[in-house]
């Protein structure tokens, strides 16, 4: 018997201390590098985008990969790549933790559009407000003692 699953993860992680250091001119190379990491993990990336202080991904993981390992590997490899490439000289690493929200097939296209429009979205809403809203909308209990602390 075969195993079947469909689990979309909307992942969000930020730069250390939410520093605004991921400048636009280098982001497409960073996103391409992360896309390569996802492919190497035999997973699928539907969309990636972000702004100066955080990035969003919509992905589907291979059956053999644990979510925490997947995010750790992306953050570790991309951090090394950023430092080696020198494209973001003020980058001081990724912040502690991440947000991983699941969504259904019927929500996939809407989340892709949401991720696509990050630049215009963040003209109206800060990352802190967005992050808190996403968690609340997904029913996550926020422990404010640790919320966005590095």
pLDDT in tens, the chain (150 residues): 777 888 999 999 999 999 999 999 999 999 999 999 999 999 999 999 999 999 999 999 998 999 999 999 999 999 999 999 988 999 999 999 999 999 999 999 999 999 999 988 899 998 889 999 999 999 999 988 888 776
Q: Coil, helix or strand for 22?
A: coil
Angle between helices 24-40 and 67-85 (to 10 degrees): 140
**Fold classification of 8-137 (topology level):** Alpha-Beta Plaits (3.30.70)
Burial class for 55, CB neighbours closer than 10 Å (0-12, 13-18, 19+): buried
Could you tell me the residue ranges of all domains in the chain?
Answer: 8-137
- Partnered with residue 54 across adjacent β-strands are 14, 51
Determine the number of helices (DSSP H) and then strands (DSSP E) in the chain: 5, 4
User: In this structure, are residues 97 and 71 in contact, taking their beta carbons and an 8 Å threshold?
Assistant: no
Angle, CA 34 vertex, CA 29 and CA 37 arms, to 5°: 135
Q: Coil, helix or strand for 94?
A: strand
């Amino acid at each position: 018997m075969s195993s079947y699953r469909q689990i979309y993860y909307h992942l969000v992680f930020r730069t250390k201390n939410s520093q605004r250091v991921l400048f636009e001119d280098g982001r497409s190379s960073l996103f391409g590098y992360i896309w390569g990491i996802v492919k190497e993990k035999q997973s699928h990336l539907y969309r990636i985008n972000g702004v100066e202080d955080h990035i969003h991904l919509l992905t589907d993981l291979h059956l053999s990969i644990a979510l925490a390992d997947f995010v750790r590997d992306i953050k570790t490899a991309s951090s090394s790549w950023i430092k080696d490439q020198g494209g973001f000289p003020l980058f001081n690493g990724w912040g502690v933790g991440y947000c991983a929200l699941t969504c259904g097939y019927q929500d996939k296209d809407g989340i892709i559009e949401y991720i696509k429009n990050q630049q215009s979205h963040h003209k109206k809403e800060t990352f802190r407000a967005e992050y808190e809203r996403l968690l609340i909308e997904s029913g996550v209990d926020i422990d404010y003692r640790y919320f966005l602390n590095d």
